[in-house]
């Protein structure tokens, strides 16, 4: 039979799974009588844990979510995951939590057993986190949006577009999306009657929220790809669609979701949707991928590639006797 302290930890570990446990099941797992289980549950309650009694034959127990945060029982992998998450949160895209993350990490370090503390400290010493460059989002804003998603309440917000224009929007919020650099709100625009993706750092929420709404089916396909299209391609001046002569997995390894969207055609080819405000930049990105490709649209990109081909050829063979040497291409100039 387990000693009392070890048995309490084992009981707490079981209850923290969130499911209901029959008294007989806990008795069997702990190797004690139902009466001892009842006494152990009472001890957990005196320590600040809210354990609900479940009615029925034999009774049962479930750990409830309370207003206070009692000590948590963490496994080794869980403790390491929390430590890494806290360290990365201190330099992430959310403002106002850096100091809290550092304080929580210090508390966790003080509670860990020596062997596990060494493991976490070794990982922390080897981990380098690069500060985020770009706009950040207040944790209170993310919490307000997440609450509206949970409660199915419309959000009323002022949004500054890519071009700097501010407009009022009323939306039905469905998901918060983080791509590693920025936070996005995926929602249904009530006025435009279509799905829209908004950068959260450009949103100014109005209070109170709007009325509750009945959720509608999400658009077909992968939601991450849908958001990526709305943030990397559709908002750009030039929107390119290319056929890549390589499998989707190989191209996807070279194209982060912040740059474009890859869709498989077959085992050897795929479609790449990518956007940019500059034809030079667009051509450079695609050429640097290292795959053969065909331009399906826009025609401006195809013409610009011809211009760049002549420019690069003349740079490589300044004497004028290189392969495929041609005179200057009419209109060979940088786009506005």
The 10s digit of each residue's pLDDT in 292-302 is 999 999 999 98
Three-state SS at 228: helix
- Where are any strands of DSSP class E within the chain? 21-22, 51-54, 60-63, 94-95, 137-138, 155-160, 166-178, 183-189, 194-199, 203-205, 238-244, 260-264, 270-276, 293-297
User: Higher pLDDT residue, 183 or 233?
Assistant: 183
Mean pLDDT, rounded, for 26-55: 88
The rounded mean pLDDT for the chain is 82
Query: What is the Cα–Cα distance from 136 to 12, expressed in whole angstroms?
Result: 38
CA 207, 210, 215, 221 torsion-angle sign? negative
The topology (CATH level 3) of 137-219 is SH3 type barrels. (2.30.30)
Mean pLDDT, rounded, for 235-247: 86
**Residue 189 CB partners (closer than 8 Å, separation 6+):** 169, 170, 171, 195, 196
Assess whether the previous peptide bond of 298 is cis (omega < 30° from 0). Answer: yes
Query: What is the Cα–Cα distance from 276 to 239, expressed in whole angstroms?
Result: 7
Which range among 56-65, 86-95, 238-247 has the greatest average pLDDT?
A: 238-247
Query: What is the Cα–Cα distance from 163 to 166, expressed in whole angstroms?
Result: 9
Please state whether the predicted TM-score (pTM) of the whole model is above 0.85. Answer: no
User: Higher pLDDT residue, 102 or 258?
Assistant: 102
Q: Domain 4-63: which CATH class?
A: mainly alpha
Each domain of the chain, given as residue ranges in start order, spans: 4-63, 76-126, 137-219, 232-316
**What is the predicted pLDDT for the residue at 329?**
45
CATH of segment(s) 232-316: 3.30.70
**What is the predicted pLDDT for the residue at 136?**
80
């Amino acid at each position: 039979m387990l000693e009392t302290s070890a048995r309490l930890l084992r009981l707490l570990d079981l209850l923290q799974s969130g499911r209901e446990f029959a008294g007989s099941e806990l008795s069997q797992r702990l190797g004690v009588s139902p009466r001892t289980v009842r006494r152990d549950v009472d001890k957990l309650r005196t320590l600040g844990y809210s354990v609900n009694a479940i009615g029925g034959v034999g009774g049962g127990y479930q750990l409830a979510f309370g207003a206070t945060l009692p000590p948590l029982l963490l496994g080794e992998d869980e403790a390491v995951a929390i430590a890494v998450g806290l360290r990365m949160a201190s330099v992430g895209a959310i403002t106002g939590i850096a100091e809290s993350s550092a304080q929580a990490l210090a508390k966790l370090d003080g509670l860990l057993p020596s062997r596990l503390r060494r493991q976490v400290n070794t990982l922390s010493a080897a981990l380098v986190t690069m500060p985020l460059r770009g706009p950040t989002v207040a944790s209170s804003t993310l919490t307000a949006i997440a609450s509206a998603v949970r409660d199915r309440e419309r959000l009323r917000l002022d949004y500054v577009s890519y071009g700097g224009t501010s407009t009022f929007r009323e939306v039905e919020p469905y998901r918060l999306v983080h791509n590693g650099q920025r936070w996005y709100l995926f929602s249904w625009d009530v006025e435009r009657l279509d799905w829209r993706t908004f950068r959260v750092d450009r949103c100014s929420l109005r209070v109170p929220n709007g009325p509750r709404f009945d959720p509608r089916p999400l658009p077909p396909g992968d939601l991450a790809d849908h958001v990526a299209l709305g943030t990397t391609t559709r908002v750009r001046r030039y929107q390119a669609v290319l056929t890549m002569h390589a499998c989707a997995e190989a191209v996807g390894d070279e194209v982060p979701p912040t740059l474009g969207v890859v869709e498989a055609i077959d085992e050897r080819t795929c479609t790449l949707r990518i956007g940019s405000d500059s034809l030079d930049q667009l051509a450079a990105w695609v050429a640097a991928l290292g795959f053969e490709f065909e331009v399906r649209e826009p025609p401006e990109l195809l013409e610009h590639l011809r211009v760049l081909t002549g420019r690069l050829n003349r740079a490589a063979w300044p004497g004028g006797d290189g392969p495929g040497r041609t005179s200057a291409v009419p209109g060979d100039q940088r786009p506005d």
